[in-house]
Structure 1
Amino acid sequence: MYTPSHYRNENLDEVREFLKHNSFGILINQTNGRPWATHIPLELDTNAGGEDVLVGHISKANPQWKSFVDNEEVLTIFNGPHSYISSSWYKEEEVPTWNYIAVHVYGKIQILNDEAVLDSLHKLVDKYEKASTNPISIHNLSHKTMKQIKGIVGFQIIISDIQATYKLSQTRPEDHPKIIEELQKTNNPGSHDIANMIKQKK
């Protein structure tokens, strides 16, 4: 991913937190000779060797998994908040732009066995059921329901490279107060998030 140096975030602890809170990503590889992308939750974890990994699963009906080759490099993309930035908010004339957070993660993919897939599903469901009024647990699902696991393919991606772009008007510090003010006036939650992030980075 092309990232000018002033937008590059090399704080891995901060980027890891971003991945934990923005785990719905895009898995990309080559399938049948074409780029192929699937939108799925990809959970940041560590494996038995202490390496950072992304863990996920896709449907067996999705042909993407048939192109998985152990230790093949794949790309995953995670998007955060984004917002249009009007140059009318600047003190000097300039073109408009867009602020955004994006993280690209590269790694080698490995298909998981049934036990590891089940373990990953427990973690996934437990994480997101915490906010439910009546949380479910995989432990309580019937055998008939759990047979659906046979219809998925689980995998882990051993992370080899993380590239993070945090484009937050870093080159225009003199305009930050006005940019923040205008973003907060909008009805767009993403604009509000970008405003808050600009504040935090000051």
Structure 2
Amino acid sequence: MYCPAAFRQNDLPSLHAQIQASGLAIVTSTGAQGLQASHLPLLLEPGEGEFGTLYGHFARANPHWRDLADGAEALVVFNGPDAYVHPGWYPAKAEHGKVVPTWNYIAVHAWGQAEVFDEPERLLELVSRLSERHERGRAQPWAVSDAPRDYIDSMLRAIVGFALPIRRIEGKWKLSQNRSASDQAGVRTGLATSNNPRDQELAARMNHTD
């Protein structure tokens, strides 16, 4: 990921927080199947290994997992909020006109090699924890145990799990840090007054650049 120093995020707790906040990750790798990308919900165990460990599962019918089983390195992308930056938000536009549009965004990239597994009890623990994470806070949260065990067993046979210790991690918080304070304030105001919730979310992140 191209990451100028002004946008680089090195704080591991902040990187982990963004991973936890991201709903769907993009797992990419290249191997015998060619260049592959799968969109998967993942769990992060921050305390496992130097940078944490990611857990998830593929559909068994998805050939992507076979490349990971063969030792292919994976790049996992976690996208945060992003927004178009209108040049008119910069006070500098009125001063000299030397401005152009850009895009602000937050992203985390993590690299590692995965251990692939298909033991039923280990898969059951994984899907149970994934469900608990995303059902948390609901008035009537669903649990894996709500479904008949024979049905769950058949579903477990249709997936393959993986554990991916993070060997390298990078974060990019592109939030107009390379602009003047007045231009940053203009972008923040423009995003905050937008009707797009993602614009508003990014404006809030500009107020707390971690």
Same fold (TM over 0.5): yes
Q: Which amino acid aligns with 2:161?
A: G
Corresponding residue number in structure 1 for 2:111: 106
Identity %: 31
Q: Which amino acid aligns with 1:74?
A: A
Which of 172, 175, 184 aligns to 1:165? It is 172
Corresponding residue number in structure 2 for 1:136: 142
Question: Does structure 1 retain, via aligned residues, the 8 Å contact 2:89–2:190?
Answer: yes
Question: Does structure 2 retain, via aligned residues, the 8 Å contact 1:106–1:160?
Answer: yes
Q: How many residues align?
A: 202
Q: Which amino acid aligns with 1:150?
A: R
Corresponding residue number in structure 1 for 2:163: 156
Q: Does 1:96 align with 2:101?
A: yes
Question: Does structure 2 retain, via aligned residues, the 8 Å contact 1:23–1:43?
Answer: no
Structure 1: how far apart are the matches of 2:8 and 2:14? 12
Distance 1:178 1:48, change over 3 A: closer
Question: Does structure 1 retain, via aligned residues, the 8 Å contact 2:6–2:178?
Answer: yes
Structure 2: how far apart are the matches of 1:90 and 1:140? 54
Pick which of 38-47 and 146-155 moved more. 38-47
Deviation of residue 15 (structure 1)? 0.8
**Helix, strand or coil: the match of 1:37?**
strand
Question: Does structure 2 retain, via aligned residues, the 8 Å contact 1:77–1:102?
Answer: yes
Corresponding residue number in structure 2 for 1:178: 186
Structure 2: how far apart are the matches of 1:120 and 1:96? 43
Structure 2: how far apart are the matches of 1:119 and 1:51? 22
Question: Does structure 2 retain, via aligned residues, the 8 Å contact 1:70–1:109?
Answer: no
**Helix, strand or coil: the match of 2:155?**
helix
Q: Does 1:22 align with 2:25?
A: no
Q: Does 1:119 align with 2:125?
A: yes
Question: Does structure 1 retain, via aligned residues, the 8 Å contact 2:51–2:168?
Answer: no
Pick which of 18-27 and 76-85 moved more. 18-27
Please, what TM-score do these two structures have when normalized by structure 1? Answer: 0.92
Stretches of structure 1 that go unaligned for 5 or more consecutive residues are none
User: Deviation digits for residues 4-56 of structure 1, max 9, x if unmatched?
Assistant: 01000001101101111114101111254521101010111157768611000
Structure 2: how far apart are the matches of 1:154 and 1:73? 16
Deviation of residue 71 (structure 1)? 4.3
Question: Does structure 1 retain, via aligned residues, the 8 Å contact 2:89–2:187?
Answer: yes
Corresponding residue number in structure 1 for 2:95: none
Runs of 4+ in 1 over 6 A off after TM superposition: 47-51
Question: Does structure 2 retain, via aligned residues, the 8 Å contact 1:26–1:76?
Answer: yes
Deviation of residue 138 (structure 1)? 1.4
